[in-house]
Structure 1
Amino acid sequence: MEPIRRSLMVKNDSFEWNGWHILTRKGPIMGHKEGETLEQTMSLPHLPDMLFHQNVVRFTRSSPNAGQDPEEPVIGLELNPVDALATVNDHEDLVHVATAKEWMEARKDSPHIQKVIKPYDWTYTPKTYKGTLLGGGQIRVEPSSTGIDYEKLKEREKILFFDEVILYEDELDDNGCSLLTTKLRVMPSGFFCLLRFYLRVDNTLIRVIDNRFHYEAGQNYILREYSFRESKFTDLQIPMSVRNDPNEVGQHLKLVDETKEKLIWPASS
């Protein structure tokens, strides 16, 4: 497809709220030539089959230091697939499928079999990706003793803006599913965003990594909660329909790691 035609397929939606500029972008799946170019800049030998490299969710506002530092006029948070993939383990295969020997033998002629043989994380798990901070060192990250007030988020409020964006997806050679998505909503009281990675390796394991972000109007920080959950297939006594549902299965998985943090920027003078 011609570059101009592909650019016309990109959809941008934006919303202005309480000093914030909120942007979501959705484009087509990355083409072969674009993929070859991106692979040259990354350390991964392969990229997800469905990589929406132009997709992004971005929250920005004017920097309190914009006058002193014109090169960094905005601060904020961005969620994008390329930065997420940059955190994927590029030298270790940490997940082995059930009956791996038989699985590889049955697929020995597959052009994708090197995904498993060559050591790297072929599940594309962005284990350490917690979003991309914008504005250089203006935003500092500190541990938080308090987390997101989910009871407040349950209160009925008008939804001013909502969107859901897929960042990448791979069916792991019909061996499961690897999916990175983000969804957000803006209310009169603030905004909430979820970045979720869902992994299902059939007959082996299920993994869910969540990053939740909440901003409350009037504050100079965003609360960020990170959680890593994982369980083996044999340890889960739940229906297959639940295993296949990224929104439901997480509550049944073992909690491996979690952190609570504040993303703080200088208060306006």
Structure 2
Amino acid sequence: MALKEHLKEARNRLFKSAIALVLGTVVGFFIYNPVLVALSQPIQEIGERTGRTAELNFDGVGSPFDLMIQISVFLGIVVSSPVWLYQLWAFVTPGLRQKERRTALGFIAAAVPLFLAGIYLAWLILPNAVLVLTDFTPEGFANIITVTVYITFLLRLMLAFGIAFLLPVVLFGLNMVGLVTGKQVLKAWRITVFLVCLFAAMAAPGADAMSMFYLAAPMLLLFFIAIGLCLLNDRRRDRRTASRDADLEANADKASSIDGL
């Protein structure tokens, strides 16, 4: 394709992605109230469990509207993720071989549910995380929290979980393009386990070790599955390379025999 056609194709893909994002944001507007109520539930439980005053506060006239836009756009990105990820894949597809296209489509098929699973897991541990963090409040003080700060913290936490669940897919992608091998990744399993547990401890604080376990266990499982896939891909690549070398050697011997005649 000529450069002009590539630009036209990119414009069409971006336009479709933008439409999906807008429609997803509209859906976000409709479910904004129940989502906000669910996100604020942990703050309400603080008062019920500890008897301490805890409430969310808007600090500006336009803050409620800004918060609605922020949550709706975030929900729109999540809802429309299959569409804009597919549009990205479809734009890259013309430059790939048939086998590479199937691999790229496999990345999309794995990335979307993993990203959503990470967000859902963060949603499940949010009440425990909020309760532990607010337990550091000294006796006699209240938790009057700015709602925009609170919601931004929750959305970032969910985004961190979603991205963390995508790391095994990225790792396998790096192996597919030959940047890392399965053996190289396997050698670093100790430091990887330590870093995963450290990330889980910081991103998912809880009253006990269960909150960390809920994040670390699936991440480690996905990591070792990715290592297994990398090792299998390395073995397949080695067999293909050995077969190609054998064919080249056979052709070279045949050419030498013909020259000798």
Name the TM tier (shorter chain): under 0.3
Superposition TM-score, scaled by structure 1 size: 0.25
* Structure in which a larger fraction of residues adopt helix: 2
* Structure in which a larger fraction of residues adopt strand: 1
| Structure number, greater radius of gyration | 2
Q: Which structure's relative contact order is higher, taking Cα pairs within 8 Å and 6+ residues apart? A: 2
